[in-house]
Every structure is written in C-alpha cells, then in structure tokens.
Chains A and B, each alone.
Chain A
Amino acid sequence: MTTTTDASSPRAARPRTPAGKTGMWLDERFKGAGATRKYLNKVFPDHWSFMMGEIALYSFITLILTGTYLSFFFDASMGEVKYNGSYVPLQGVEMSRAYASTLNISFDVRGGLVIRQIHHWAALLFVAAMLIHMLRVFFTGAFRKPRELNWLIGLTLLVLGVIEGFVGYSLPDDLLSGTGFRIAYSIILSIPVIGTWLAFMIFGGPFPGTVIIGRLYITHVLLIPGILVALVAAHLAIMVRQKHTDFPGAGKSEATVVGHRFYPKFSAQATGFFFIVFGVVAALGGLAQINPIWLFGPYNPAQVSSGSQPDWYMGLLDGSTRLFPSWEIRLWGHTIPALFWPTVVLPTILIGLAAAYPFIEARLTKDRARHNLLQRPRDVPVRTALGAMACTFCAVLFLSGGNDLIAKAFDISLNAMTWGGRIATLVLPPLAYAIVYRLCIGLQRHDREVLEHGVETGIIKRLPTGEFIEVHQPLGPVDEHGHGTLTYAAASVPKRMNRLGRGRTAHVRGFFYPVKEKPEIAERLAALEESEHPELESAEREVELTD
C-alpha cells in the first residue's frame, strides 16, 4: 500500500467547502460523525453470485417507481362501462372500469404502455431474482447459523412476492387473468371445512361478485408492498449487522470480511448496477411485448382461450394441478376436492420444508458453530443433491404447467405429456439426487488431484525412453515424490494455466502500432517500474514493452 505524503495533498483540517460546512452543521446537531464513518467504511465482499439479491432489490425499487405511476391512472372498479377509447376493435364493448382503465393506460396515456410493460417485466424479474438468490444461499450454506432468521425472512419475501405478482396480474380483469383468478377462487373453495366461508369472505359472495378488484388493489398497492418494504429493510439490516458471507480462499477467514468499502467503491458499483437492472427491464418493457390485454378481451366467465398460461412463477402450481390424479374424497357427506392437494397442500409442504431446512440440517449434522465462510456446493454433496432433487421436482411441475404447449410444439399426445409428467415427478428427483451426489464427489476428487499433481500445462514431453508424459505445474511446494503438499481446504483450486497468473508484463496497447507515451510521462513510468520491481532485468522489460 502506498500513501501519498507530498505537501500538496489536502489536510484533514476545518472544512472550508460548502459540503464540508454542511456536514459540520449536521454533526453539531446530530452527533453522527462516528456512526456515519462506520457505515462508510463497511467492507463488502465481491463475488458474482452475490449480485442476485441485488437484482431482486433493484427490480423491487423499479416496481415501486413504475407502480406508483400506474396507480395514477388505474381505476380498481368492477363497475360496468362501455369502452369508447381509441382502441377501435373494443369500442362499444361492455367491460369493467378496471379493464377499461388498463386499456386507457395502454392506448390513451402517452408512454403509459411502456411503463405498464416495464412494471410487468420487473415483476417477473423480481420473483426470478429472489428465487435464484435463494438457490445461491441454499447451495453455499449461507443460511447456517447465525443467518437462519434471514433465511426465513427471505423465504417470506419470495412467497409474498409470488402472491403480490399474481394479485397484480389479476388486476386488469382481462380474460386471461380472470380465468386464472377463477381457478384461485376454486382453490380457496376446495379447502376443507372453511373453504366456502373463506372464499365468500374474500370475494364478498360467489365468484366474481362486485368487490374483489377493489380488494385486490389495496392488497397489491398497500398491504403486501408495506410488508415487503418492512421485510426487505429487516433483511438488509440483518445482513449489515451480521456482515456478508464470503467464499473461502486465500486471505479469507471466519473472523474477517475482505473486499471494498461501502464508500466510494461499493456504492458507486451498486448504484451503477441498479441503473443497469432498471435499464435492462426498461428495454424489455419497450421491445418485448408482455401481457397484451387488449388481445384477450375483458373477462367473461363463459370464455377461455386455449394455451392459457399464467406468469412463470405460477407454472409450478399449474403443473402440479394438471398432473395430480382425480382423487376426490367424499366422506360422511363432505367433499375434499382433488384440487386441494396440488394447490394448497403441496405448496404448504414445499414452503415448510424450505423453512425448516436450516434447522433440520443443523440438527442432523450437529453443527452449532457460527459460519461466515460459505461452502462450495461440491463440498456438501448431500445438501447439494437434496437441492438438485427439489429443483428437479419443481422443474418437472413447471414444465408440466405448459405441457399443452409442449405437446403442440412437438406434436406429442397431451395425455402422454400428462402421464410423462406424473412419472417424471416420481422418478427424476431421486435420479437427480444420485447423479448430483456423484458429480460433487467427482469434482472434489478432481480438486484433490490438482492439489497433488498440479495443473495440466498442455505440454507433452517425450522421455529418452520414448515414453510420452504430460507436464503438470505444481500449485505449491512438492515433496520428494513430486506430489503437492497443499492440503484440501474446500476452496477454489486453479485448474488452467492462465488462472495461475503470469509474470508481470506490460500490456501492449494499440491496433496498428504500440501506443507511445509522451517522453516525460514515459520517463516517470519507467522510474516507477524501476522502484517497484528492481528485480526485473531492464532488457527483459524492454522486450516486453516492444513485443
């Protein structure tokens, strides 16, 4: 590390600039200098997989911004109106005010359609990023003590995010979402004992009634977002308090965190990343049409279009509903519909398993230690294989949610798709467990092999005996047999020569000829190089520079 000490650098003296004076003014009143500095100096580790949670956070902010805009124009009413806006094909059609005002946003508010589509894309991304973030946390063991509570908060955020998305998707009261929403009503109706009462409570009578859109609206813009904001704040506050986890490696330890400070570098990069997430979603919102409700028409309980697909995060439930056999239970004058099992019981089990997992694992492994260093998936084969099993199960259900489209695209019998899905949900998960478990062990063995023999150099050497051998580059010191002495540390091992790094060489720039610095700058560069690396032969350096 070098610190500049020349006399010209500014001193930490009394503030003279307006910003400095403002800071002083504030601190004289609130005494926050010490606490503020602590947060400015907070260190955040760097790894690409840590960006998934950031994507979720930034798409959530995008949702709040675009959603607030949409609320200025949306009319959450089921009152009937004859459409007379500028979309000619629907003029004169009877529809709810909710649907009419969504058409209005799409056709009669300048730039309204792009905001509506950004909102929809951001919602899809929000849930997707949360799910992938959750998978990252699961497969690296970041949920272990002391972070179990944040795992539960995160899981709650995911579930609420899915509900929030579904409710928002249902607001326009179009044919596609209305069909989905009637299924939601049927699901509530299917709950034993309280189903009809609950459904009538929510809908204010039998489906669709006259109040549900208004209730959905306040749920969508106040109730759930309020809870989401509070939980996101708690999620972040806990992360800041407990400090971020990091992957093991050189210079890493359980007692420290290594990376960039919040100010200025991390905050600059995080802000930049927010704009990129918002920018990508904005471009999608403009270029990729989504949910063109004017093509579906207003909701009508007697109509449906084939190939009706919900938003992606509902695919799993759609699939489970399609695959579950027609097992209706009728006992003592009561009915438990088949619909109840794949739509209420199954998600409850899935969410319950996810919530309980950190505690189950801690109990089975008797691991009560605090963990700040992550695990690589390969180093915990059982957990990784269990995760793969769960992912496979959900993936089969997700694909089955579109089995009619797959059947159509590949000209397969729809009934065969259903049966294939039923069998696959039972057969593929255990298979995934076995395969992934073996993969983890294999990857571990490969790491050990590299530690023992070194990295493959790609150099084939012929011995005087005529034997060909491949030359390996040991990673560290070797014993008398030429075997590496580094021990397995459950950290990433370089496996290619270019990851080992090479000698410090000046990078030659310039397309047609090397870039030449001005003489006085070149002189200072050479002097600096000399002072930093006196061990390099000057001739060698020259060769590198003119190479």
Chain B
Amino acid sequence: MSSTGPDIPSEDELRAMTTEQAMLTGAATDGVYAVHRRNRFPVPGTKAEKRSERAVALLFTIAALAGVAFIVVFIAAPWNWKPPGNSQNFRFYTPLLGLLLGIMLTALGAGAILWAKWLMPEEEFVQERHDDVQPGEGADQVMTGATLVAGYQDTGLPRRSLLVRTLVLAGGAVATVPLVALIGGLLKAPGKTLFHTLWSPQPAKYPNGIPVVYADGRRVSPNDLQAGGLATVFPGVPDGVRDASSPTLLIRLRPGQGKDVTARSGQANWGWGDFVAYSKICTHAGCPASLYEQQTTRLLCPCHQSQFEVLKDCKPVFGPATRSLPKLKLEVEVVDGVQYFVAPQDYQEPIGPGFWERG
C-alpha cells in the first residue's frame, strides 16, 4: 500500500468495470480497502430478507402514522387551559403531542438504523491514516518555512525597527478602540449605590421616617402581627415594593423575647417593643432569607442554608453566611389615632452579599 494509492485505471478501463469494481477502485485510490464485504442476502427473496425488510417498512409506516396522528391531535384536540370545574382534557394535549412526535422521530430513526444494520451489505473497510511522517513531508516543511521566512524578510520588518514599533502601536490602537467603545458604553460607576436602599430618609416628604408597608401598599401597624409572627415589609415610597435591596423582615417576638435580643453596640433600642426588623436579603448570596422558625427563633435562607439567630441580632450561626443581617431602626407614628411603623433612617451598612469596596 503506497501512500499515493494504486495506479488509477484509465477512464475507459473504469467504464468497462461493474459499479462495484469501480467503487472499490475509487476507495483504493483514497487509501480505503475492503477487508470484508458481503451481501447479507446472496440468495434474493429468502424469508429472512423479507422479514427484515418488512420490519423496517413497519417502522417507517409507524413513523408516518404517528405523524398523521400528530397533525390530527394538533388541530382537533382541546388545548386551552381551563380552570378546575371545567373539562380538564387539555392536560393531555402536550403529553400527546410529545409522545406522537417522539414515536414518529424514534420510529424513523430506528428504521434507518435497522435498514443499515440488517439490509445493507456487511462491510468492514480499513483506511490508512497517513498521519505518520510521510515521504516528502520534511521537504514540504522546509519549503513552507522558507517561503514564510523569505516573505517576512521581503517586508523588511526584521531591519526596520521603526516600522515594527509604529505598527505595534497602530495595531494596539485598532484593537483597543472597539474595546474602549464597548466597555465605555456599558460602564456604570457603582459609586455608593450599594451602600443605601430606598429606606433612605426623605424628610421633606416623610418627616417621621419612611412608612413601612406591605407588598400591596397597606401601612403596617403593630396590631397586625401576632406574637411569633413575621411579615415581609417594604419602604412605602414609589417603587419601594419592587426594589431588590429593600425587602425587610418585620418579626414580632413572643412576649419577653424582645429583652433577650443581644444587639450590636448603639443599636440596642432599634426595635420597638417586641418588634425587630432586619434586611431580608441574605448576606451570603442575596437570596431572601425567609424561613423563620418560631420555636428556635432562627431564620433560614433556603438557597444555601445559612442560618441566622434572631435573638442574637440575626448573627449567622450555621452555613456559609459571614455577616449578621443588617438591622432596620423602627419607630411608630400615629395617624388618625392608629399607630404605624416608620423607619427613621436607612440601614447603617450595605445590605446583602459582600463586595470589595464594602470594607
């Protein structure tokens, strides 16, 4: 087996060959040789052959029928969602479509594979890889290398250092400008954005502090919560309910527990009665730490299972969180004889996950 393959017969010689012979000659020209090639059914019309053909044909027929059924179901079956109480037959629409599509494609695929395996001739061909060092390859490498080097010398770059340096500068500029343009357009200075939330005081509009509201905008009154209960509350300012950094947990401890809370220095009287408020945003990865266990007074973040002890000022007691949940100072204002919570000041530290500039 020479690397160039056998001599190619003339066109006339090839025309005189059978298709099989011409095919094998072509394969040999490409370095591909049949080591085994055998018609599976040298005697045509045997029962085994018919059986194989019928099985493949059956699969193709199933594919066609599944396709027809798909179209019928797609057009005719009920598919609109209906509330409970109505016919729930629409529930079968998606499963049926998927099943029929699956049957159609799988039957077609299985038919094609069995066709190749059962009906096409057995064959084993061997192909030369030609990936060891070939004769003439070394010469090619030398000539190509010489062409590249000679071309480089023709440009004069090896001895014109001024050209090289200015070209590097120009190339650098061309590469940098689009980058600067792109990043420059996208860049936003973080500034102090991450250091405050929508609880920041707006004395002009809310002289007693930012109103504490529920998700639906109702103001939160101390009488709303039972002992041991909690609520997610928001700053009652425009967009306050949708803001990602402002969600706050208002917890009403069971009577007496409020006195147990060990507070950070200077924050001892930030609660109001049995009420305490902490940022709901986990200091680990920013999930809402929303699972509160009344019995253990622990808050659990369901994302990575950080646990915060409410009575220890929401200090992390287990899991990957490092910092306590920031505490929100609570006060109460009276409007029309009803007490409502307000927040006289923003969180005194950045809420949520840590970052480089946090300090």
Using CB atoms and an 8 Å cutoff, list the residues of chain A in contact with chain B. Answer: 1-5, 9-14, 37-38, 41-43, 86-89, 107, 110-111, 113-114, 117-118, 146, 179, 182-183, 185-187, 189-197, 199-202, 204-208, 242-243, 251, 254-261, 264-265, 268-269, 271-287, 300-308, 318, 321-328, 330, 333-339, 342, 370, 372, 403-404, 414-415, 418, 509, 515, 517-518, 521, 524-525, 528
Contact = CB atoms under 8 A, between A and B. Distances in A.
B355 A189 contact: yes
A322 B305 contact: yes
A259 B125 contact: yes
Given A256-B127, A418-B318, A279 B356 contact: no
A324 B322 CA distance: 11
22 contacts: A2-B42, A11-B17, A12-B21, A42-B32, A43-B125, A86-B81, A117-B98, A186-B284, A243-B131, A251-B35, A272-B111, A275-B106, A279-B109, A281-B102, A285-B98, A300-B242, A301-B288, A303-B290, A338-B322, A339-B284, A517-B47, A518-B45
A199 B358 CA distance: 14
B38 A111 contact: no
Interface in B73-102: 74, 79-81, 83, 94-102
Contacts of B355: 189-190, 195-196, 335, 337
A350 to B, nearest CB: 19
A118 B46 contact: no
B72 interface: no
Interface of B: 14-24, 26-27, 29-30, 32, 34-39, 42-43, 45-48, 51, 74, 79-81, 83, 94-113, 115-117, 120, 123-129, 131-132, 183, 186-190, 193-194, 215, 232, 234, 242-245, 247, 280-281, 284-288, 290-291, 302-306, 316, 318-323, 352-359
Nearest to B232: A302
Pairs of residues from A and B, 7 with the lowest C-beta to C-beta distance, nearest first: A286-B98, A283-B102, A275-B109, A272-B112, A279-B105, A279-B106, A337-B354
Contacts of A318: 304
A521 B131 contact: no
Contact of A280 (B17, B102, B125): B102
A335 B123 contact: no
Contacts of B285: 182-183, 186-187, 321, 339
A200 B188 contact: yes
Given A86-B81, A189-B354, A261-B27, 20 more contacts: A3-B18, A179-B287, A182-B285, A182-B286, A196-B190, A205-B193, A206-B190, A256-B126, A258-B35, A268-B115, A286-B97, A302-B215, A303-B290, A322-B305, A328-B322, A334-B358, A336-B354, A336-B356, A339-B354, A517-B46
Contacts of A334: 356-359
Contacts of A206: 190, 193-194, 244-245
A302 B288 contact: yes
A243 B127 contact: yes
Nearest to B44: A521
Contacts of B20: 3-4, 9
Nearest to B80: A86
Contacts of A202: 186
Given A192-B356, A325-B320, A242 B131 contact: yes
B245 to A, nearest CB: 7
B61 to A, nearest CB: 15
B287 A304 contact: yes
Contacts of A414: 305
B115 to A, nearest CB: 6
Nearest to B215: A302
Contacts of B105: 275-276, 278-279, 282
Contacts of A287: 95, 98-99, 102
Contact of B74 (A111, A183, A279, A300): A111
B126 A195 contact: no
B8 to A, nearest CB: 10
Contact of B27 (A41, A194, A242, A271): A41
B244 A415 contact: no
A284 B39 CA distance: 38
Contacts of B120: 264-265, 268
Contacts of A197: 187, 189-190
A196 B43 CA distance: 76
Contacts of B131: 146, 242-243, 370, 372
B325 to A, nearest CB: 14
A12 B98 contact: no
Contacts of A322: 304-305, 319-320
B247 A283 contact: no
